[in-house]
Amino acid sequence: MKEEIAQIQSDALTAIGAASGEQELDEARIAFLGKKGRLTAASSGMKDLSKEEKPVVGQLLNATRGAITEALEGKRNALQDEADRAALEGLDLTLPGRPLHPGSLHPLTQLGDRAIGILRRLGFALAEGPEIETEFHCFDALNTPPEHPARNEKDTFYFDSGKLLRTHTSTVQIRTMETQPPPVRVIAPGSCYRRDEVDKTHLPVFNQLEGLYVDTDVQVGDLKGALEFFYRAMFGEETEVRFRPHFFPFTEPSFEIDARLRLEGHDPEWIEVAGCGMVDPAVFEEICKSRGDELYHPDKVTGYAFGMGLDRLAMIKWGIKDIRLLIENDARFLTQFA
Ligand code: PHE
C-alpha cells in the first residue's frame, strides 16, 4: 500500500506540473483528491490494515494529501502570475499617466453664488418666478403702459398665447408681493430675454439679479447703504459707487448705479452696474388690487428695488471683453476660472 501511495503522489505531482490552465488543474485536483479520486480510494484500504500499520499509513496518507494540496496551490499561483504578466505585455508602466481634467463652476455660477452669499448676509431670501410670463407681471403691474417701447414686438419675444419671455427679473417683485405679506426682503437671480442684436456686450439671453425690500419705513439711504456694501464686498473695499438720477416706470425716484473699481493695469473708470429706486406707489396700488387687500397700501409701506446684470458683473470682475465668451463653452476660456 505504501508503494501505491507513493505512486499516487508522483502521478499527482506530474499531472499538476503538466497542467496548462485553471481547468486542467481543477481536473487534476478532482482526479486525486476528489470524493472518487485516487487518494480517497486508497484511504478506504485503511480498514484492512493491522493495528500497527494503521497509524503509519494514516500519517503517510495525510502527508501525501498535504503535498498534493501544496503543489496545487503553488501551480495555481504560478498560472495566475503568468496570466498577469501576459496581460501587462506591451504596457509601459513608466509612461506618464493621462491627465484628468476636473471640471469647475462656470464663472457666471461662481459670481451668482457670491452675489447671493453677500446679499444673504444682509437678510435677503431667495425668490423666483417663471421665465415665461404674463404681460401683467412683466409690464402692467410694473406701471409700464401698453405704449411703452419696452413692450414693442421688436424688443420682446411674444408667444401666440400672449405670454412672453420675461425681459427683466422685476416680474419677481410682483410675484413676491402677490403671495407674501409685508415685510419682504428678497433677491431673485435668473435669465431674461430681449430681442437684442448679438455683439460684444449684448446677447438675447442674459442674467439679472433682482432685489426687493418692502417694510414700513424703507428709505433711499437704506438702498444706498445696501448696494454700496454689496459692491465693496464684491469688488473690494476701495470700490467707489455713485447713484445717477434715471427713470424707470416702477420706481420713483430712480437711479442708475455706476461703480469705479481699481483693477490692476486699468485706469479706474465708471461702469454702469445696476438700475434701482424706491418702489413707485402705483406699483403698490396695483398689488393691492391684485391681492384684494390693503397690506401694501402706499400709505403703509415703502420699499426699494434694484436689478443688476450678472453677466456685466462677471465681465467687470474678470476683465472679460466679450460677453459671448460666457456662452461659447470654450474650455480654453473656462479653465481659467477653475
Ligand atoms: N428692471 C430694470 C431693468 O431691467 C432694472 C431695475 C430693477 C430698475 C429694479 C429699478 C428697480 O433695466
Find the helix or strand (DSSP H, E) in which 283 lies. helix 281-291
Distance CA 169, CA 284 (A): 17
Q: Would residue 218 count as lying in a domain?
A: yes
| 125 and 43 in a common domain | no
- Whether ligand 1 lies within 6 angstroms of the CB of 306 is answered as yes
- Confidence category of residue 243, pLDDT binned at 50, 70, 90: very high
Same domain, 46 and 161: no
Q: Is residue 100 part of a domain?
A: no
Q: What is the pLDDT of residues 314-335, one digit of tens each?
A: 998 898 999 999 999 999 999 9
pLDDT: which is higher, 46 or 304: 304
DSSP letter at 199? B
Q: Is residue 98 part of a domain?
A: no
| Ligand 1 atom nearest to 168, measured from its CA | 4
Shared domain for 80 and 120, answered yes or no, is no
Write out the three cell numbers for 290.
391684485
- Among 88, 122, 142, the domain boundary falls at 88
Give the closest residue to 304 by CA, choosing from 186, 188, 208, 207: 186
Q: Which of 230, 224, 226 is nearest to 242 (CA)?
A: 224
CA nearest ligand 1 atom 4, residue: 168
Burial of 295 from C-beta contacts in 10 A (0-12 / 13-18 / 19+) = middle
Specify whether 208 is located in the same domain as 118.
yes
User: How many Å apart are CA 317 and CA 255, to the nearest integer?
Assistant: 22
Q: Which atom of ligand 1 is nearest to the CA of 211?
A: 9
Asked if pLDDT for residue 107 goes beyond 80, the answer is yes
Residue 251 beta carbon below 6 angstroms from any ligand 1 atom: yes
State which of 52-66, 295-309, 323-337 shows the largest mean pLDDT. 295-309
CB 181 within 8 A of CB 170: no
What is the pLDDT at residue 2? 82
Compute, in angstroms, the gap from residue 23 CA to the centroid of ligand 1.
78
Measured CA to CA, the distance from residue 267 to residue 243 in angstroms comes to 20
Residue 217 and residue 72 in one domain:
no
Do 130 and 75 lie in a common domain? no
CATH of the domain at 279: 3.30.930.10
The answer to whether residue 57 sits within a structural domain is: yes
The verdict on 195 and 253 lying in the same domain is yes
My answer on whether 18 and 112 are in the same domain is: no
Of 30, 61, 88, the position where a domain reaches its end is 88
Q: pLDDT grade, residue 267 (50/70/90)?
A: confident
Residue 82 in any domain: the answer is yes
Q: Does 94 reside within a domain?
A: no
| % of the chain at pLDDT higher than 70 | 99
- Please tell me the residue having the least CA distance from ligand 1 atom 7: 307
Tell me, using a 6 A CB cutoff, whether residue 143 lines ligand 1.
Answer: no
Closest Cα to residue 129, out of 169, 162, 180, 161? 169
Co-location of 79 and 205 in the same domain: no
216 φ, ψ (degrees, to nearest 5): -80, -20
Q: How far is ligand 1, taken at its centre, from the CA of residue 230, in Å?
A: 17
Grid cell digits, residue 206: 442674459
CA 139/CA 145 separation, integer angstroms: 7
Examine the fold and report which residue of 58, 88, 118 is the final residue of a domain before the chain moves on. Answer: 88
With a 6 Å cutoff on the Cβ, whether 275 touches ligand 1 is: yes
Per-residue pLDDT of 169-185, as tens digits, reads: 999 999 999 999 999 99
Q: How far apart are CA 32 and CA 9, in angstroms?
A: 9
**How far away, in angstroms, is 29 Cα from ligand 1 center?**
84
Smallest Cα–Cα separation from 222: which of 122, 309, 301? Answer: 122
Report the pLDDT averaged over residues 67-79. 92
When pLDDT is cut at 50, 70 and 90, the band that residue 103 belongs to is confident
Q: Is the pLDDT of residue 231 over 80?
A: yes
Does 273 lie in the same domain as 206? yes
The finding on whether 277 has its CB within 6 A of some atom of ligand 1 is yes
Strand intervals (E) in the chain:
125-126, 132-133, 164-165, 184-193, 205-215, 240-248, 251-260, 270-279, 302-309
Q: Is the CB of 273 under 6 A from ligand 1?
A: no
In a shared domain, residues 114 and 210: yes
What angle do helix axes 220-235 and 310-318 make, rounded to 10 degrees?
40
pLDDT at residue 94 above 80? Answer: yes
The verdict on residue 99 lying in a domain is no
**Rounded average pLDDT over 54-68:** 89
- Please check whether residue 5 is in contact with residue 37, taking contact to mean a CB–CB distance below 8 angstroms: no
171 Cβ closer than 6 Å to some ligand 1 atom: no
- Is 221 among the domain residues? yes
Whether 67 and 119 share a structural domain:
no
Q: In whole numbers, what is the pLDDT of the chain averaged over residues?
A: 93
Please tell me what DSSP assigns to residue 202. B
Which pLDDT score, from 0 to 100, does residue 300 have?
A: 97
Domain count, the chain: 2
Query: Cell triple for residue 48?
Result: 484492512
In this prediction, residue 101 carries a pLDDT of 79
Pocket test for ligand 1, best of 173, 176, 187, 248 (most atoms within 8 A of CB): 248
Which residue segment(s) compose the domain that 301 sits in?
107-337
User: What ligand 1 atom has the least distance to the C-alpha of 304?
Assistant: 11
